[in-house]
């Protein structure tokens, strides 16, 4: 059940309404033709965090200028060829929406706003093309007024900094990480729920971190945020592989060694405290000393678990210190031992799906334009312009069916309320103060929706609908027939956009998730066949980014593909670790490791050919055993230097063949 709005959400709604009324007052005072666009723009730009509002404002100004310039260049040339004009607008929207979907930063607003600014400016001007420049300038003025007012009020009146929000969100993420780690260490079946939340929330943290530069934060805060994100990236595959190793160890007939059980209990207790230094864990074992002929599978699992437990304590302690340092004037970020350079950024883009969404948006606007042209509907230009806004936003939604129902319900309510305001309330507003008081009810509600997660898209579209339906002008005109046509046009646009999205994109998130899993298999085959000694530095980050896209789509539904994403993450990091270790191995130990990597590559190529998961090769367990035995046969000191190699081989075994034990003592 949804909770009631809190004080912070009410404060944001009041600030957004004050900025909207300031923008409306200025637009009315300047006599702009559509002052309600200034009011609606405030809600398009406003965000509960001041830095996010500034970034959106700056990029939306650039997008408005770009779209208006395109309108001035297009309309005079193509006004006598309406179908060609609609084709040009559709191509513009397709290209710009695609560019917007590729972006993961506030820069996406440049392309998104430029995409639908062109039809907003161009289509109402086709009946008077000589006035296109004046219309474009007026639209820029209206939108810039809204942007400036939103930024001014957000910065002056109780500004909400990004750094405290990021610190709080990171604390929640670390609490989820601690919960997942505790479930793993204790063998709780709830570990799946914790890891799904962890992978989904990391994308939200990325969005917050991208706003820091616009919040006036110093370089120290930015360094802390980047260092924290790097360590969080490393924590995900570590926890996932530790879970697989401990599960294999618990299934072993000899069970878990007592020293390791004590270390797990101590680490679990430490995760629930604020102690900075993690507890000591067991040392020694097959990774440091002993004879190769004494090595067995239980010892290998226990030693790998102990090594991963040691890394978990160190990494989680660093994450906690960095999280507490965000926004604080503290010492520099702790250094990563053995990792002098940050991991290269890697983003996965499903270009096929993104291009399909962009093309469907452009085609929707083109078809809506054809309906307007052949129907001869005088007010159809406004319908196509509003439909272009909705279609651009629907392009980024995997499940338009779920959003469409709520969108249509809210649009109907908005139409009824705005019509009532126009004919029953606004005529009695003889002063601007009275008008502002009458508009407070619907727009305070819209502001509350923007401040609540999951409602931002609906709230932004409602702000346009309410403004256009109410048709606030400098001179009141309640012509029923004209107003009815305007409202009918907007209602038709609001109906057309979701219905089109549902018709052309019926496959939903499941198809997108399957494509993500196939892309993971392709990357894993690549990771197992890399020739460079240091591997592809972007591959691990790209796999984690893909996992973050996969889990929100299917994790909540309990789809098994979400678990497959975590397994792919483990295999990928292990393959990269083995490739990195190959040059330092002697020839006798290097050959069996290469054979394991080749088998892994063949396995994932077989999955790609089949289109679904297939069993791992039957001989993989023996090849892994040979590779482990080869590394374990090194002298004691050399064996300790290859602790990571042995651990990666063990994790590959328990991930790809979870029910089989490698026969090491042969």
CA atoms within 13 A on the CB side of 615: 9
**Using CB atoms within 10 A of its CB, is residue 220 exposed (0-12), middle (13-18) or buried (19+)?**
middle
Q: Hey, what's the torsion of the CAs at 503, 506, 509, 513, to 10 degrees?
A: -130
DSSP annotation of 585 reads: S
Measured between alpha carbons, how far is 528 from 525 in angstroms, rounded to an integer?
5
Closest-CA residue to 221 (of 323, 337, 315, 318): 323
Contacts 24+ apart (CB under 8 A), 343-347: 343/230, 343/233, 343/234, 343/537, 343/540, 343/541, 344/537, 344/538, 344/541, 345/538, 345/541, 346/538, 346/539, 346/540, 346/541, 346/542, 346/543, 346/544, 346/545, 347/104, 347/541, 347/542, 347/545
Q: What is the pLDDT of residues 321-351, one digit of tens each?
A: 888 877 665 544 454 444 433 344 567 888 8
Identify whether the C-beta of residue 281 lies closer than 8 Å to the C-beta of residue 326: no
Measured between alpha carbons, how far is 660 from 98 in angstroms, rounded to an integer?
46
Q: Is 105 helix (H, G, I), strand (E, B) or coil?
A: coil
Identify whether the C-beta of residue 489 lies closer than 8 Å to the C-beta of residue 386: yes
- The residue ranges of the chain whose pLDDT is under 50 are 1, 286-294, 331-333, 335-344, 474-476, 532-535, 555-558, 560-562, 640, 665-666
Model pTM score: 0.79
Question: Which residue matches tokens 């917050």?
Answer: 208
Q: What is the pLDDT of residues 403-428, one digit of tens each?
A: 777 777 777 777 777 667 666 666 66
Measured between alpha carbons, how far is 398 from 513 in angstroms, rounded to an integer?
10
Measured between alpha carbons, how far is 608 from 615 in angstroms, rounded to an integer?
13
Structure tokens at 236: 């995900």
* Residue 533, pLDDT score: 39
* Residue 88, pLDDT score: 94
> CB within 8 A of 111, min separation 6: which ones?
63, 96, 97, 99, 100, 103
Closest-CA residue to 140 (of 172, 113, 178): 113
Question: Which residue matches tokens 């197992």?
Answer: 528
**Using CB atoms within 10 A of its CB, is residue 612 exposed (0-12), middle (13-18) or buried (19+)?**
exposed
Measured between alpha carbons, how far is 171 from 384 in angstroms, rounded to an integer?
45
Q: Is 31 helix (H, G, I), strand (E, B) or coil?
A: coil
- The domain segmentation of the chain, as residue ranges, is 7-161+348-506, 162-214+218-325, 509-656
Give CA separation, 33 vs 36, 117, 132, 475, 484, in Å. 9, 16, 13, 10, 19
């Amino acid at each position: 059940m949804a909770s009631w709005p809190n004080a912070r959400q009410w404060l944001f709604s009041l600030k957004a309404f004050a900025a909207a009324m300031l923008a409306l007052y200025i637009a009315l005072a300047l006599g702009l033709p559509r002052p309600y666009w200034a009011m609606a723009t405030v809600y398009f730009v406003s965000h509960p965090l001041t830095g996010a509002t500034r970034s959106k404002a700056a990029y939306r100004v650039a997008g408005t200028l770009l779209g208006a310039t395109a309108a001035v260049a297009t309309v005079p040339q193509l006004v006598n060829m309406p179908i060609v004009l609609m084709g040009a607008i559709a191509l513009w929207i397709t290209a710009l929406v695609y560019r917007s979907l590729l972006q993961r930063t506030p820069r996406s607003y440049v392309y998104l706003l430029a995409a639908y600014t062109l039809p907003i400016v161009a289509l109402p001007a086709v009946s008077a093309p000589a006035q296109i420049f004046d219309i474009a300038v007026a639209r820029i003025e209206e939108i810039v007024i809204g942007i400036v007012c939103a930024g001014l009020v957000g910065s002056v009146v109780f500004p909400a900094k990004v750094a405290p929000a990021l610190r709080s969100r990171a604390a929640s993420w670390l609490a989820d990480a601690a919960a997942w780690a505790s479930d793993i260490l204790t063998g709780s079946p709830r570990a799946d729920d914790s890891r799904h939340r962890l992978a989904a929330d990391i994308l939200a943290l990325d969005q917050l971190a991208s706003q820091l530069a616009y919040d006036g934060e110093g370089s120290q805060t930015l360094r802390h945020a980047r260092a924290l994100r790097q360590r969080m990236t490393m924590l995900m595959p570590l926890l996932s592989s530790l879970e697989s190793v401990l599960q294999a160890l618990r299934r072993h007939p000899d069970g878990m060694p007592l020293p390791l059980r004590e270390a797990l209990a101590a680490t679990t207790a430490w995760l629930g405290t604020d102690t900075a230094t993690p507890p000591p864990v067991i040392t020694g074992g097959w990774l440091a000393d002993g004879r190769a002929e004494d090595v067995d599978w239980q010892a290998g699992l226990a030693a790998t678990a102990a090594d991963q437990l040691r890394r978990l304590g160190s990494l989680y302690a660093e994450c906690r210190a960095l999280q507490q340092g965000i926004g604080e004037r503290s010492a520099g970020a702790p250094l990563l031992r053995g990792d002098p350079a940050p991991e290269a950024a890697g983003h996965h883009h499903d270009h096929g799906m993104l291009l399909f969404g962009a093309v469907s948006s452009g085609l929707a606007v083109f078809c809506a334009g054809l309906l307007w042209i052949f129907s001869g509907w005088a007010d159809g230009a406004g319908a196509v312009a509003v439909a272009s806004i909705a279609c651009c936003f629907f392009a980024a939604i995997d499940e338009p069916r779920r959003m469409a129902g709520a969108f249509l319900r809210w649009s109907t309510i908005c139409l009824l309320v705005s019509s009532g305001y126009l004919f029953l309330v606004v005529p009695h507003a003889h002063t601007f103060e009275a008008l502002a008081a009458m508009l407070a009810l619907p727009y305070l509600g819209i502001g509350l929706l923007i401040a609540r997660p999951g409602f931002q898209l609906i709230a932004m579209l409602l702000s346009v609908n309410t403004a256009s339906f109410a048709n606030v002008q400098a001179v009141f005109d309640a012509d029923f027939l004209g107003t009815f046509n305007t409202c009918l046009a907007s209602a038709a646009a609001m109906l057309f956009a979701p219905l089109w999205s549902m018709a052309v994109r019926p496959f939903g998130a499941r198809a997108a998730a399957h494509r993500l899993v196939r892309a993971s298999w392709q990357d894993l085959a690549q990771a197992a066949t890399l020739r460079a000694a240091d591997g592809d530095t972007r591959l691990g980050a790209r796999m984690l980014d893909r996992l973050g896209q996969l889990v929100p789509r299917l994790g909540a539904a309990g789809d098994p593909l979400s678990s497959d994403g975590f397994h792919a993450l483990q295999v990928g990091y292990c393959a990269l670790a083995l490739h990195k270790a190959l040059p330092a191995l002697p020839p006798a130990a290097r050959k069996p490791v290469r054979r394991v990597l080749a088998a892994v590559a063949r396995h994932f190529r077989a999955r790609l050919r089949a289109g679904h998961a297939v069993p791992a090769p039957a001989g993989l367990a023996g090849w892994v055993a040979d590779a482990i035995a080869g590394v374990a046969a090194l002298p004691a000191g050399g064996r300790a230097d290859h602790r990571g190699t042995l651990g990666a081989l063990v994790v590959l075994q328990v991930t790809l063949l979870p029910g089989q034990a490698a026969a090491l003592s042969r």
